[in-house]
Structure 1
Amino acid sequence: MYRTTFEKVPTFKSALRRVGRGKREVHEVKALTDVSFEVDHGTSIGIIGSNGAGKSSLMRAIAGILPPSEGRIEVHGRVSTLLALGVGFNRKLSGRENVILGGLAAGMTHAELNERYDEIAEFAELGEFIDMPMRTYSSGMYSRLAFSVAVHLNPDILLIDEALSTGDAKFKQKAARKMREVADNAGTMFLVSHSMRSIKRLCSQCLWLHKGQVMMQGEPEEVIAAYSKFLEVGEDAFTLDDM
């Protein structure tokens, strides 16, 4: 649950009484409600749903960024996140320095970083820019390096929120192959995407969220079919019994 405040527009009468000062009110937003599910190690699960369904909030909760208002979240293993590309990068530092800082922050040792650095740099395709300050990077270069760092940390659990929407067509294909490799290597992967094609191609399970609640969980083909029908007929006319 998010709690936020907003300025209530005063009426003319109340404005005179309060000398124009607005009244601040607290508004509660239930981003997720009674969400409960389990994901076995080695599963690649797609998270689908319309904007505002709670997908990104769910990923941040699993990553430990947002503590749940109630209930608990159990995560077993090292998590690597692509929730917002490059969060934590220092634009004043070079790409090389950010790779090192990102790896250390994720729990890697200096030995592990030395072993994987060349692979990370090669995958990002930055060339000599790897030693330049990241403030000189284009958005595409920034995203490529962020993606490369995240997928080369050998995470037990990889959380990806619309990462494939960045980069050119060639890099998108390369990124998809790498994510498939992560999933095939017995890693657990969560993929939030509006691309049903990506969900079908990369995931073995699918979870559909709507207004912060779990509507359906199962095989991607089955869940996506139900979600597609929901989008066509609307919420009022839709029931899962129709499937």
Structure 2
Amino acid sequence: MVRLDLTNIHLNYPLLARSASGMKAEGDVESSRIVYDKNGRPRAVRALSGIDLSVGTGERVALVGHNGSGKTTLLHVLAGLLPPDTGTVSIEGQVTSLININLGIQAQATGHANITLRGLAAGFSRKQIAEKRDAIANFSELGPFLDLPVETYSAGMRMRLSFAIATTFTPEILILDEWLSTGDASFRQKAADRMRTFSQAASIIVLASHSLPLIEQVCSRVVWLDSGRVRMDGDVAAVLDAYQEAMAEA
């Protein structure tokens, strides 16, 4: 059984001295989310507060909310990139994260070495990586460049390699920050086709997006985040209607 469960998740972002000294009570962060020390100085921002979320096999969940609502932070918690300050994270299944597909690429290592390193980091065996190596190489279209250090690649070549590695292994739990499109025009359609196949193979998808038509097309459930808290969780149409109404009144 593939599933994920978050229980009473709280996470604060510590503020650097310079950020704290220049912070205003009003602005990008609501004053109620600022954590102060005993001397009244801001020391952190509440990114997530009391998040409870359970997702089971077959669910496609969208996260919506204005910028700063906690969507990306929650994705980072689900992907294991940020540990919560308090609360429990329970995940059954292999997580594939496309939040930042360049994360973990070693610039001084070759393309082939990065295929191995990224595969091992994702929990796959050397045998599984070897079985997928040709498919990754063919999709990336990098040919002999895979024998060269990644630091010699252009930005587009790095993206091709990262995308090919990230989307070749069949995902169980897929974590996405917006719907991924990548590369130049000649590669973009190929990547879009791969994304459709890739997402269909996943047992669970959690997607943060501002594209309501995409959410209606792909997702079966919507979680609306507001100021780091779950404001509404349920049917796509019902949550999106309430969210759009609130945004229109803001």
TM-score, L = length of structure 2: 0.78
- Specify the alignment match of 2:27 in structure 1: none
CA contact (8 A) 2:170 2:202 kept: no
Q: Gapped runs of 5+ residues in structure 2?
A: 1-11, 23-38
Q: How many residues align?
A: 221
Aligned to 1:89, what secondary structure does the other structure show? coil
Q: Distance in 1 between matches of 2:139 and 2:226?
A: 36
Which residue identity does 1:154 align to in structure 2?
T
- Specify the alignment match of 1:122 in structure 2: 138
Distance change (3 Å), C-alpha of 1:221 and 1:117:
farther
CA contact (8 A) 2:69 2:225 kept: yes
Q: Gapped runs of 5+ residues in structure 1?
A: 10-22, 235-243
Give the alignment partner of residue 98 of structure 2, picking from 66, 74, 82: 82
Structure 1 residues 109-148: Cα deviation after superposition (integer angstroms, max 9, x where no partner): 1111111111122222333332332223232322232222
Give the alignment partner of residue 211 of structure 2, picking from 192, 195, 200: 195
Q: Distance in 2 between matches of 1:50 and 1:169?
A: 30
- Specify the alignment match of 2:125 in structure 1: 109
- Specify the alignment match of 1:240 in structure 2: none
Which protein shows a greater Rg?
1
Q: Distance in 1 between matches of 2:185 and 2:210?
A: 17
Q: Distance in 1 between matches of 2:135 and 2:63?
A: 29
Which residue identity does 1:153 align to in structure 2?
F
Which residue identity does 2:115 align to in structure 1?
V
Aligned to 1:51, what secondary structure does the other structure show? coil
1:99 matches 2:115 = yes
Deviation of 1:45 (Å): 1.6
- Specify the alignment match of 2:16 in structure 1: 5
Written as runs of structure 1 = structure 2, the 5 A alignment for 1:15-54 is: 25-54=41-70
Distance change (3 Å), C-alpha of 1:212 and 1:118:
same
TM-score, L = length of structure 1: 0.80
Q: Is the deviation greater in 53-62 or in 134-143? A: 134-143
Distance change (3 Å), C-alpha of 1:127 and 1:37:
same
Which residue identity does 1:151 align to in structure 2?
T
Give the aligned CA root-mean-square deviation in angstroms.
2.5
Give the alignment partner of residue 215 of structure 1, picking from 202, 206, 231: 231
Q: Distance in 2 between matches of 1:44 and 1:116?
A: 26
Deviation of 1:5 (Å): 3.2
Distance change (3 Å), C-alpha of 1:173 and 1:130:
same
Which is richer in strand?
Answer: 2
- Percent of pairs identical after alignment? 38
Q: Distance in 2 between matches of 1:228 and 1:109?
A: 45
Q: Distance in 2 between matches of 1:172 and 1:204?
A: 26
